[in-house]
Amino acid sequence: MRRRLEELQGNSSTADNKKQPGEEQPGIFEQMQKKLNNRMMTIHEKLASMVMDQVEKQIDSVATSLLSTDNTTKQYEKASQGDPSLLHKLNDDHENPKDDTASNSYVMNLNMAHHIVDENIHLQVQHRQQPESRQDYHQPKMAAFINQHIQQPNMATFINQNSHPQPMLAGIPLIRNTVQPSVPFVNTIPLRVSQPSNNRQADTLQPRATHAPDRRHVTVKDRRYAEHNNQAKPPKKQKLAKTAEEEGVTVLKIISFNCKNAKSNIYALHDLMENNDILLLQEHWLFHAQLHYLQEIGKCTNYAAKGSDEYDPIQPTFLPRGHGGVAVIWKNEIDSQVRPLDDGKERIQCVEISGKDQKLLVVSVYLPSTGGRNSTDEFLDTIDQLNEIITKYQDTHEIIIGGDLNEDLGNDERQNKRKKYLQQLIEDYRLGYENTGKTFIKTNGQECSELDYFLYKSRHMEMAEKEVLKDVISNHSDHYPIKCEVKIGIPKRGTNQNSKLQQLQPTIKWDKVDQDLYLAIINRQVDTMAESPAETADDAELLISKMHQMLTNAANESSSNKSKYKAKPKLKVWTPIIKSSLKEMRKCYDIWSRNGKPTNPDDKSYQDRVNSRKEFKKQVKVEQARERDREKQEILEARTRDKAIIRDRIQPRVLKDQNPTQRGFTAKSSPLNAGLVVEEVYRESVDSNQEFELVLLDAKSAFDVVVHSHLMRRLFHCGIDDTLWRIIQIEAQIHTKMMTFFSNICQQSDNSVEKQLGKRQLAVKSSGSHSWYIEVQRVMFKYNLGRAIDMLNNADVTKTTVNQIKRQIANHWVNEISVIANLYQGLKYLQTDNFMAGKIHSILKIKRYTNKDRFRIPIKLKLLTGTYSLQPLRYKIYKEGNQEICNACSQEVETVEHLLIKCKAWDNIRRPVIKEIENILTSNSKIEWESLNEGTKIQILMDITMVQRQLRLNSEEVSKIEHQAKRLIYLIHSARCKLLLQP
């Protein structure tokens, strides 16, 4: 905010207006006068630049015309082509000039061009990096012009008036450019480079090779920032890890990722946290009431996060589509060194990491994107917040800011107010950053810009170069994650803990040692040690070490091996506040115990003990209430199909010894078994011819759905097409479900209600009973599956047995349908030889070409199955038309053959389609359509799979012919319907 106020007041308009610490601040009039002077100076520079361009163009044209006839030029060209003597002569003449001719000037200019033309870009960068001051405008400059010549490339020649005599070109003096250019240099315009400000810089103007620009700090301003920071190129990851290994400190692996919805990208976040330490999230799309979902990223992680409604929470029942949000997630291994901070608003999340000798501030930031109504103002406001954070922590912390900046700092062509404001922040605090690759992907899958960065301000911290992670397979976002590694003074994980465990030795309690066992172990090993020779000093040391080890082992074996008691928290909730309250309560209890455990209410230690205990219980109850509220919130936000919430709350309350009549979470059972008992009672009343009344409460609708007539009526009211209802035989499906259910009952324990009821019914009831178990017995007899009582007593009923039963039922119906199909006249064109239960017919497996086939397939299936309403059937039902005569041609009886082939009323529709089919047959299989008999033609149009082998057609040809056949049938059907609907 401070920089924006200064910008509005005009205090930061140019670098020349900055005052020294001891000077007075100028007034409003003086500031306005300075702004006016700077503006006039800028206009003067542009005008002078335009004039110099025109003058130099005129000089170039004059120089070209004069130099084309110069003898010295010709000699120089010959020398350049292979005569070195002429070149030496020209050089000698240049060292001892006799006259200021254009020839000598031209040769001198060519010699200088070899040293300067490759240096122009480097000079430009050096000049732009120098601080600008008002004296620079009055310093002498270097003049430049372009020499052009036939058979010679354009070469820029620079003449410094301090080190070279002023040349003359055919008596015309060169015009000096004393105005500093304000536009960048390019190869297609005259080059003007200001004179170096000191001799040291002038001496360094040596020829150097030019290289392709690197992505790192590609702009001039970026190079200036790098030099101001005096930072070297960040080291590679391998080098950083090697130095960290030598120093025994940790390398923190930090990831920044715009995940675009943490819920849908949960697998990518889990993969990123698996091999890294800290994850900076942007756009997690979670509101304040949903931040607990971040716990699902990993079991051993902690987080600090903010939702887009952080300072104006939205009620859970009115949550809109998610947007925005930032978070910082870290592993529990460094949890003791991490402390969340409250700096910044909902677009900034800060955490502090405490190292051994330094502190690290990690910031996750999400800057607003363009296109919003107030996006620019929000962008500037967020930059001001970062400004305040950096100002607050820059003297005490190393700073890393990672996130989605929504501006491409490597693209110099695109400039706007947002980007300039961000670059001003980077320049003011000398923040480092790297351009290593594009991180944003457009909707067409093309990488377009680099929007994700790490901005860092380092004093002693070592940081590896940024890496763009493009190989995260589970990433569903349009941003790539970026990664950096930081070496910070945190002790290496696992080193201290292991060393402490190795140093701790169990204390031997000699008063509890088994002395007899101790003596027996020593006596058993002393005899072998006494035989060992000890002639030298090494032998003596070895003997002493063995003796020491023997005594230690004997003491350990004879002492108590009771393991150390490890206290575990008995509370179901645990927070840092509860931990501190418990510590305070124990401390007060210890003081009260040392004071003799007084019971006087006026005693201070007694009061402290009571108050600390009350405070501890209070914190536990508060946290338990929060836990209950969180569970209620999860239930409100849970989806309808989220079974985990119900299971987690019911499973701990399931009885170990379940009630025999209870169903729902019973092994090898289901809620459907609860209806079996009621079904048997109803069937029993039918057998005994007794009145039966069933009173249902909430479960009434559950029993209604199993009534097929009710279910089909509801489907019809829902708008589901009933065209194919009852065409497919469903008896086999009912029997399969029945046998599957009976198999599940057979796998239950012998004391289950269903199994005991089955044994009773099968033993008591006759074959004519209405009992469900007797129905199962009849089904098993039909498919030769044996006796139901034997299967019920068999304890080896497995999934394989169930599959065998299903296969037996399927084979029965395949054979029966294949035999019956040949007896139906309407199915004579339908292939039934390769019929398979549970699989669709081969005619439906043919590849489709257009979505219109979904309208054509039902019409063709009706013709194949004989359910299409031809004229004989219409007359029998509706008494319409001329009995069985075709209404279109009024000549013959309307049959399938007449409709598709013979009826002349549809010739105009039939002819182009038949032509296409004939072309396919002729071009590939050399078959003439007219040579085929009528039955083959109808078979091709109805079910081509029956004649595919006979005609030697491949799958591609079959799909093309089938497409044309469905098209022909649908066109004839549409025309016929229009004819019948006419009055």
Residue 168 confidence (pLDDT): 36
Lowest-pLDDT choice from 158-162, 535-539, 747-751: 158-162
Higher pLDDT, 818 or 33: 818
Residue 352 confidence (pLDDT): 94
Lowest-pLDDT choice from 76-90, 93-107, 856-870: 93-107
Residue 426 confidence (pLDDT): 92
Say which CATH number the domain at 242 has: 3.60.10.10
Please give the tally of structural domains in the chain.
5
Is 641 part of a structural domain of the chain? no
Where among 147, 173, 206 does a domain terminate?
Answer: 206
For residue range 469-514, what is the model confidence (pLDDT) as tens digits?
A: 998 888 889 999 999 998 877 665 544 444 444 445 667 777 778 8
Residue 592 confidence (pLDDT): 93
pLDDT beyond 80 at 311:
yes
Instruction: Check if the beta carbon of residue 325 is closer than 8 Å to that of residue 302.
Output: no
Q: Where are the alpha helices (DSSP H) in 96-204?
A: 102-116, 120-129, 199-203
Instruction: Check if the beta carbon of residue 619 is closer than 8 Å to that of residue 577.
Output: yes
% residues pLDDT > 90 (the chain): 19
511 and 493 within one domain: no
Where among 530, 558, 586 does a domain terminate?
Answer: 558
Mean local confidence (pLDDT), 69-97 = 45
493 and 519 within one domain: no
295 and 424 within one domain: yes
pLDDT beyond 70 at 38:
yes
400 and 319 within one domain: yes
3-state secondary structure string, 849-911?
CCCCHHHHHHHHHHHHHCCCCCHHHHHHHHCCCCCCECCCCCCCECCHHHHHHHCHHHHHHHH
Residue 340 confidence (pLDDT): 92
Neighbouring residues of 884: CB distance < 8 A, sequence distance ≥ 6 = 871, 872, 875, 893, 894
pLDDT beyond 60 at 20:
no
Is 807 part of a structural domain of the chain? no
Sign, CA dihedral 199-201-202-204, equals positive
Lowest-pLDDT choice from 251-265, 874-888, 940-954: 874-888
Q: What share of the chain is helix, strand, coil (3-state, %, to 5)?
A: 50, 10, 40
Kindly state the DSSP code that residue 166 receives in the 8-state scheme.
P
Residue 780 confidence (pLDDT): 93
pLDDT beyond 80 at 135:
no
Quick one: pLDDT band at residue 676, thresholds 50, 70, 90?
Answer: confident
Mean local confidence (pLDDT), 249-269 = 88
Is 929 part of a structural domain of the chain? yes
Higher pLDDT, 34 or 652: 34
| Residue 399 bridge partners (DSSP) | 361, 457
Neighbouring residues of 310: CB distance < 8 A, sequence distance ≥ 6 = 288, 345, 346
Higher pLDDT, 525 or 210: 525
How many residues are given for the chain?
983
Residue that has been written with the tokens 């003086």 in this structure: 30
Mean local confidence (pLDDT), 405-431 = 90
- Identify each DSSP E strand in 26-98 by its residue range: none
Lowest-pLDDT choice from 5-9, 163-167, 552-556, 707-711: 163-167
The pair of structure tokens assigned to 62 is 């004059």
pLDDT beyond 50 at 811:
yes
Higher pLDDT, 631 or 621: 621
Q: Cα separation of 658 and 113, whole Å?
A: 99
Quick one: pLDDT band at residue 201, thresholds 50, 70, 90?
Answer: very low
Residue 816 confidence (pLDDT): 85
Higher pLDDT, 799 or 494: 799
pLDDT beyond 50 at 86:
no
Across the chain, which distance is largest between two alpha carbons, in Å?
142
950 and 927 within one domain: yes
> Residue 326: in which H helix or E strand, if any?
strand 326-331
960 and 909 within one domain: yes
Is 528 part of a structural domain of the chain? yes
Instruction: Tell me which residue of 629, 589, 590 sits closest to 612, measured CA to CA.
Output: 589
Residue 246 confidence (pLDDT): 65
| Residue 351 bridge partners (DSSP) | 340, 362
The pair of structure tokens assigned to 503 is 């140093």
% residues pLDDT > 70 (the chain): 68
91 and 154 within one domain: yes
178 and 53 within one domain: yes
Q: At what angle do helices 934-942 and 955-981 cross, to 10 degrees?
A: 90
Q: Cα separation of 115 and 113, whole Å?
A: 5
Neighbouring residues of 563: CB distance < 8 A, sequence distance ≥ 6 = none
pLDDT beyond 60 at 75:
no
Residue 674 confidence (pLDDT): 73
162 and 253 within one domain: no
Average pLDDT over the chain reads: 74
370 and 256 within one domain: yes
Sign, CA dihedral 790-792-793-797, equals positive
Most confident of 65-69, 560-564, 933-937: 933-937
Quick one: pLDDT band at residue 726, thresholds 50, 70, 90?
Answer: low
Most confident of 46-55, 135-144, 261-270: 261-270
Mean local confidence (pLDDT), 906-914 = 91
Residue that has been written with the tokens 């070409």 in this structure: 849
Is 785 part of a structural domain of the chain? no
Residue 822 confidence (pLDDT): 80
Mean local confidence (pLDDT), 388-413 = 91
Residue 516 confidence (pLDDT): 80
Lowest-pLDDT choice from 67-76, 345-354, 587-596, 838-847: 67-76
Instruction: Check if the beta carbon of residue 256 is closer than 8 Å to that of residue 364.
Output: yes
Neighbouring residues of 679: CB distance < 8 A, sequence distance ≥ 6 = 772
- Identify each DSSP E strand in 126-181 by its residue range: 143-149, 152-159, 168-169, 172-173
Is 787 part of a structural domain of the chain? no
Quick one: pLDDT band at residue 573, thresholds 50, 70, 90?
Answer: confident
Mean local confidence (pLDDT), 816-826 = 82
State the residue range of the domain holding 934: 839-981
Distances (CA, A) of 207 to 115, 123, 201, 687, 904: 5, 11, 14, 112, 93
512 by Cβ neighbours in 10 Å (0-12 / 13-18 / 19+) ranks as exposed
Q: Cα separation of 662 and 455, whole Å?
A: 63
Residue 248 confidence (pLDDT): 65
Quick one: pLDDT band at residue 459, thresholds 50, 70, 90?
Answer: confident
> Residue 501: in which H helix or E strand, if any?
helix 495-503
Lowest-pLDDT choice from 188-202, 272-286, 692-706: 188-202
Instruction: Check if the beta carbon of residue 360 is closer than 8 Å to that of residue 353.
Output: yes
Q: Cα separation of 306 and 802, whole Å?
A: 54
Q: Cα separation of 93 and 318, whole Å?
A: 91
403 and 322 within one domain: yes
Is 569 part of a structural domain of the chain? no
Instruction: Check if the beta carbon of residue 439 is closer than 8 Å to that of residue 212.
Output: no
Higher pLDDT, 339 or 129: 339
Lowest-pLDDT choice from 110-114, 452-456, 843-847: 110-114
pLDDT beyond 90 at 362:
yes
Is 327 part of a structural domain of the chain? yes
Contacts from 310-317 at CB under 8 Å and sequence distance 24+? 310/345, 310/346, 311/345, 311/346, 313/287, 313/288, 313/289, 314/287, 314/288, 314/289, 316/289, 316/633, 316/636, 316/637, 317/636
42 and 153 within one domain: yes
Q: Cα separation of 64 and 58, whole Å?
A: 10
Quick one: pLDDT band at residue 586, thresholds 50, 70, 90?
Answer: very high
